[in-house]
Homo-oligomer: A and B are copies of this chain.
Amino acid sequence: MTDAWLTSLIVPTPQDGFDLAVKLSRMGVKLTQPSDEIRGKLRAAYEQDTAQLIAVSQVIAVYFQTIAAANNYWRS
């Protein structure tokens, strides 16, 4: 993973921040399980499992908190 995939936390809107939080939550999984094939199979399973969907949602929430602070909460 030598490509640059995260050059800034600054994004124009809260919604962009949310999208970035989703991206970061997935990257955390990708770095631990780099195989696209295995992740694809695993994804098919957890998409049907509410406990895991909620756990993913929790990870997104923590990243969003970081990104929101970085952007000074898009206050003005």
Residues of A at the B interface (CB closer than 8 Å) are 4-10, 13-15, 18, 22, 24-25, 27-29, 31-33, 38, 42-43, 45-66, 68-70, 73-75
Q: Nearest CB to that of A46 among chain B residues?
A: B50
**A9–B28 Cα gap in the complex (Å)?**
19
- Give how many copies assemble into the complex: 6
- Chain A binding site: helix, strand, loop or mixed by DSSP? helix
Extra pairs beyond A9-B73, A28-B61 (16, CB < 8 Å):
A18-B24, A22-B28, A22-B32, A28-B58, A32-B57, A33-B47, A46-B51, A51-B51, A51-B55, A52-B54, A57-B59, A58-B62, A65-B65, A68-B69, A68-B70, A69-B73
